[in-house]
Amino acid sequence: MSIGVCGKDPETANHMDLLIYVCKGLAVMQQALRQQQLARPAVDHFIMDALFCTITNANFDVASIAARITRGVELKHELSEAAAAAGLAIQPIGEVRWAGPPASYARVGKLVGVLQATNEDIRSLKELVIYGLKGMAAYAEHAFNLGFADDAIHAFIQHALVETTRQDLTADELVALVLETGQWGVTTMALLDQANTTRYGNPEITTVHLGTRNNPAILISGHDLKDIEELLDQTAGTGVDVYTHSEMLPAHYYPAFKKHSHLAGNYGNAWWKQREEFESFNGPVVFTTNCIVPPLDNAGYKDRIYTTGAAGFPGFIHLPARADGHTKDFSQVIAHAKRCAPPTEIETGSIVGGFAHAQVMALADQVVEAVKTKAIRKFVVMAGCDGRMKSRNYYGDFAAGLPQDTVILTAGCAKYRYNKLQLGDIGGIPRVLDAGQCNDSYSLALIALKLKEVFKLDDINELPIVYNIAWYEQKAVIVLLALLHLGVKNIHLGPTLPAFLSPNVAKVLVDNFGISSISTPEDDLAAWIA
């Protein structure tokens, strides 16, 4: 059996391919209905969630994917009836017509995957669009959970899905669609930033503790701030502490969460170390989104893992979605925590974060003066994803080797390679400025645009900024496309260029945008910083 790098088996992967196929059919139908002001919000949300649940390491539960396929087929029937009632003729492509029974899902899934496009370049560009849409859908769903939505974002996601069904698009037209996807990625990240800061306040400089207390506790992972809000509310006064894990670390930076004295700290590191860290945590773990590492058969923590939202894994308890007007129910997780021993301490000390755009703008005079006096010679954007491969050691070595007059701007779980290094500060400005989650790469773009304005530059690429981005999954792809849309060039991408890029498509990105891969920390430091 062939297993993907994230641990997903072929059956699950085939079901996900079929779910995307169903989404494309729904997009064709919803787009036609939208033109007549007849679009259905339930379809918008379904497509958003379906794309989200197919991102890397989010959902391994084939039963939940199959249930989504079944629901998608039901929605196609409903849209077909609505179109007929409105006198609309829907293009009868396979994605629209297919309505097979559940028994056919695995077989059909093999036939509609990414390899159905025989032209390597066309296939590569279409997949680049699809990956960008998946990342965009994840951010849109986080905003939606906080009551923020934009119909134009749904309309674009569906437009782009429809475009990938076309057989007559040229490579040039698809390159344009890739860049348009980046444009809407910026729009979506801006919406999520608005949702987060409206609900929880602007992130501020915060010291986060890494040790443990002597109370039973819940570890919450993933990215969904609505989930941690409700978990903190429900654990208040219960004697149960809450710790963040991996990409949930930035929750500590928001003022609204600081009122909770039982938000005890951050436990562990990036997602890929969870097998050891979940064992020592002792209490239940809640996955609000990706990134799940399939547990070993003998793992002692398997019965302590809960999933919710787009996340899922066979054998893990899945917490139902919140009903309209109600909060999500974490009572069984809290009861479980009370039966468990407190977390085993695996490290001590603290880390500092909270440098999203509003906080950095508040330090603007100090930052600008440091640049003018050459106390800060260069900024290095090191956003993106971490991973288990030894090649990822590059990022920690690169950060440690940076000269003392450089500052790292970071977001995403890639920061765990260097956010606990003692890199010091420059005139009180920490040399690692953590903006937050991967979606907070939007903050890094705003900071760059503000610096361009302050220094009265014509081109963002004239700034003393080096981009050294680590990628792993689709949310990193939409961040990359967003940076390309903003005009950023000469981005270094690693540990390797994405394998789904054909040689010709990779050449377009290299020639037009200066994208390159990394080499060794020593060579790259000499080439980019010196």
| Domain edges within the chain | 10-199, 206-338, 352-528
In this predicted structure, the answer to whether residue 17 has a pLDDT above a threshold of 60 is yes
- Across 285-289, 319-323, 327-331, least confident range: 319-323
Strands 432-434 and 465-470 turn out to be: unpaired
Percent of the chain clearing pLDDT 90 (strictly above): 94
pLDDT higher at 53 or 324: 53
Task: Please tell me the distance from the alpha carbon of residue 128 to that of residue 474, in angstroms, as a whole number.
Answer: 9
Cβ atoms within 10 A of the Cβ of 478, count? 28
pLDDT value, residue 7: 57
CATH topology for 206-338? Rossmann fold (3.40.50)
Read off the pLDDT of each residue in 449-472 and give the average, rounded to a whole number: 95
Residue with tokens 């990134």: 291
CATH topology for 10-199? Substrate Binding Domain Of Dnak; Chain:A; Domain 2 (1.20.1270)
DSSP letter at 7? Answer: -
Question: Strand (E) positions, 99-257?
Answer: 206-209, 217-221, 241-244
Closest CA to 145 of 40, 235, 257, 224: 224
Read off the pLDDT of each residue in 355-376 and give the average, rounded to a whole number: 95
In this predicted structure, the answer to whether residue 510 has a pLDDT above a threshold of 50 is yes
Task: Please tell me the distance from the alpha carbon of residue 530 to that of residue 257, in angstroms, as a whole number.
Answer: 41
Percent of the chain clearing pLDDT 70 (strictly above): 99
Provide the pLDDT confidence category of residue 2 given band limits of 50, 70 and 90.
Answer: very low
pLDDT value, residue 472: 87
Residue 209: strand pairing partners: 350
CA dist list (Å): 346 to 18, 204, 276, 279: 42, 26, 10, 11
Consecutive H or E run containing 327: none
Query: Do 206-338 and 352-528 show the same overall fold?
Result: yes
Task: Return the structure tokens found at 418.
Answer: 């260097």
Q: State whether CATH 3.40.50.2030 applies to domain 352-528.
A: yes
Task: Please tell me the distance from the alpha carbon of residue 304 to that of residue 278, in angstroms, as a whole number.
Answer: 9
CA neighbours closer than 13 Å in the CB half-sphere of residue 139: 33
Q: What is the pLDDT of residues 406-456, one digit of tens each?
A: 999 999 999 999 999 999 999 999 999 999 999 999 999 999 999 999 999
Q: What is the pLDDT of residues 267-315, one digit of tens each?
A: 999 999 999 999 999 999 999 999 999 999 999 999 999 999 999 999 9
Task: Please provide the average confidence, as pLDDT, over all residues in the chain.
Answer: 95
pLDDT value, residue 114: 75
Q: What is the pLDDT of residues 149-177, one digit of tens each?
A: 999 999 999 999 999 999 999 999 999 99
pLDDT value, residue 6: 52
Read off the pLDDT of each residue in 505-527 and give the average, rounded to a whole number: 95
In this predicted structure, the answer to whether residue 5 has a pLDDT above a threshold of 60 is no
Whether the CB-CB separation of 258 and 236 falls below 8 Å is answered with no
In this predicted structure, the answer to whether residue 52 has a pLDDT above a threshold of 90 is yes
Whether the CB-CB separation of 75 and 99 falls below 8 Å is answered with no
**Which residues fall within 8 angstroms of residue 358, CB to CB, at 6 or more apart?**
197, 202, 203
pLDDT value, residue 1: 42
